[in-house]
C-alpha cells in the first residue's frame, strides 16, 4: 500500500511543491541584502541611512552620475569614474588568470593524483603548507619580487602571480581522485601515453571541477582588491575594486553612488555565472571519452 502511494503522481507533486516552496523562501531570504543594495542605488543621499527599502523619493540620477551621462550638480563637473574601462581591465585580467590557472592547476593536479612517484605526497604537502600562511603577510615580499622583475603597474604584474595556485591544484586533485584508477589502466593497455590519458580521459571527467575552479578564479580575480591596489598606480590600468575604492575615497563615501556603480560592475559576473553553472548538471560524467 505505502509503496504504491509513494509511487503515485499526487505524492510526487506534493513533494515537488514542498521543495519549490522551501527553496523559494530560503532563496528570497538570502537575496534580501542584494535587494537592499539595489534599493540604495536608487536612494537620494538623505535616505541612505534610513531603514526603509523602497526609497520615498526614488531617483535614477545615481546611475547617470556614475555613467558620466550628467555632471555633478554641485561642482558642475563629471565624476572621475571610468566604469567601462575598469570593467574591461577586470575582465581582461580575470580571463587571463582563469585560463592560465585552470591549465597549470589541472596539469599539476594530474601529477599529484594519477601518477605515482617518489616524494609526491611531500611536495603536495608543501603546496598545502603555503596556503596556511596568512596571505596578508605575503603581499609585501610579493610586491618586492614584482619590483625586481619590473612588473609593477603592468597587466602582467596582475596576471602572473595569480596564474599558479595551490588552491586550484588541491581542488582539482580531489576531483581527479574520484575517478577510478581502472580507467587509466585500461587506456594504458591500449597503448595510451600519460598525455593522452590526461587529455582524453581525465579532463573530460573532471569537467565539473574545471568549471567550478573557473567560476571561483574568475570571480575572485574580478573582485580582488588587495593586489591591484598595491601594484597599480596608472589610471588606465585600474580594475573594478580599485576604481570603486577611489570612488569611495574621493566623494566622501557616497554610499548610493557606490551601490549604483557596484551594480553596473557585477552585471558581467552574473551573466558569466549563469552561463557557467548550466554546465554543472548530473550525468555528464560518462558523456566524455569513456563509455562502459
- Residue numbers 228-287 binding other proteins by CB under 8 A: 255, 258-259, 262, 266, 269-270, 273-274, 277-278, 280-286
**Could you say which of 199, 219, 229, 230 contacts other proteins (CB under 8 A)?**
219
Which positions from 37 through 66 interact with other proteins, judged by CB under 8 A?
37, 39-40, 51-54
3-class secondary structure, 190: coil
Which positions from 69 through 108 interact with other proteins, judged by CB under 8 A?
103-105, 107-108
Minimum distance from residue 177 beta carbon to other proteins (Å)? 5
Specify burial of residue 291 (Cβ count, 10 A radius: 0-12, 13-18, 19+).
exposed
Please say which residue, 236 or 270, places its beta carbon nearer to other proteins.
Answer: 270
Minimum distance from residue 212 beta carbon to other proteins (Å)? 4
Please say which residue, 116 or 233, places its beta carbon nearer to other proteins.
Answer: 116
Please say which residue, 45 or 70, places its beta carbon nearer to other proteins.
Answer: 45
Instruction: Point out which span in 36-44, 62-70, 76-84, 228-236 binds other proteins (CB under 8 A).
Output: 36-44
CA distance 230 to 9: 60
User: Which residues make Cβ contacts (< 8 Å) with residue 9, sequence separation at least 6?
Assistant: none
**Could you say which of 34, 46, 60, 267 contacts other proteins (CB under 8 A)?**
34
CA distance 172 to 113: 9
Instruction: Check binding of 130 to other proteins (CB under 8 A).
Output: yes
C-alpha cell at 247: 570612488
Helix locations, the chain, DSSP H: 2-7, 9-41, 61-66, 83-113, 120-131, 135-148, 155-159, 166-177, 181-189, 194-196, 203-205, 207-222, 226-231, 240-250, 255-277
Which positions from 1 through 30 interact with other proteins, judged by CB under 8 A?
3, 19-20, 23-28, 30
DSSP state of 50: S
**Could you say which of 1, 10, 77, 134 contacts other proteins (CB under 8 A)?**
134
**Could you say which of 181, 234, 250, 267 contacts other proteins (CB under 8 A)?**
181
Contact 165, 105 (CB under 8 A): yes
Instruction: Point out which span in 61-69, 74-82, 90-98, 215-223 binds other proteins (CB under 8 A).
Output: 215-223
For residues 137 to 156, the per-residue mask of contacts with other proteins, x marking binding by CB under 8 A and - elsewhere, is xx-xxx-xx-----------
Q: How many angstroms separate the Cα of 215 from the Cα of each of 8, 218, 271? A: 39, 5, 11
DSSP state of 162: G
Minimum distance from residue 75 beta carbon to other proteins (Å)? 25
DSSP state of 212: H
Please say which residue, 69 or 115, places its beta carbon nearer to other proteins.
Answer: 115
Amino acid at each position: 500500500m505505502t509503496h504504491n502511494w509513494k509511487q503515485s503522481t499526487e505524492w510526487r507533486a506534493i513533494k515537488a511543491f514542498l521543495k519549490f516552496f522551501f527553496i523559494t523562501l530560503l532563496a528570497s531570504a538570502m537575496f534580501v541584502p542584494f535587494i537592499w543594495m539595489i534599493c540604495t542605488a536608487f536612494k537620494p543621499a538623505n535616505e541612505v541611512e534610513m531603514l526603509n527599502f523602497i526609497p520615498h523619493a526614488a531617483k535614477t540620477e545615481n546611475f547617470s552620475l556614475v555613467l558620466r551621462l550628467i555632471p555633478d550638480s554641485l561642482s558642475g563637473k563629471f565624476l572621475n569614474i571610468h566604469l567601462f574601462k575598469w570593467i574591461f581591465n577586470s575582465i581582461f585580467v580575470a580571463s587571463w588568470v582563469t585560463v592560465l590557472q585552470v591549465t597549470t592547476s589541472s596539469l599539476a593536479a594530474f601529477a599529484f593524483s594519477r601518477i605515482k612517484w617518489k616524494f609526491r605526497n611531500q611536495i603536495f604537502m608543501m603546496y598545502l603548507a603555503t596556503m596556511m600562511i596568512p596571505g596578508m603577510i605575503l603581499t609585501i615580499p610579493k610586491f618586492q619580487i614584482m619590483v625586481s622583475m619590473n612588473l609593477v603597474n603592468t597587466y602582467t604584474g596582475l596576471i602572473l602571480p595569480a596564474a599558479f595556485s595551490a588552491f586550484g591544484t588541491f581542488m582539482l586533485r580531489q576531483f581527479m581522485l574520484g575517478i577510478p584508477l581502472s580507467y587509466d589502466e585500461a587506456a594504458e593497455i591500449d597503448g595510451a601515453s600519460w598525455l593522452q590519458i590526461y587529455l582524453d580521459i581525465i579532463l573530460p571527467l573532471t569537467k565539473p571541477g574545471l568549471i567550478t575552479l573557473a567560476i571561483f578564479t574568475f570571480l575572485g580575480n574580478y573582485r580582488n582588491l588587495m593586489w591591484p591596489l598595491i601594484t597599480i598606480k596608472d589610471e588606465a590600468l585600474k580594475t573594478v575594486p580599485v576604481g570603486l575604492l577611489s570612488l569611495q575615497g574621493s566623494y566622501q563615501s557616497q554610499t548610493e553612488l557606490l551601490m549604483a556603480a557596484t551594480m553596473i560592475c557585477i552585471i558581467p559576473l552574473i551573466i558569466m555565472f549563469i552561463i557557467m553553472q548550466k554546465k554543472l548538471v548530473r550525468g555528464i560524467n560518462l558523456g566524455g571519452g569513456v563509455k562502459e
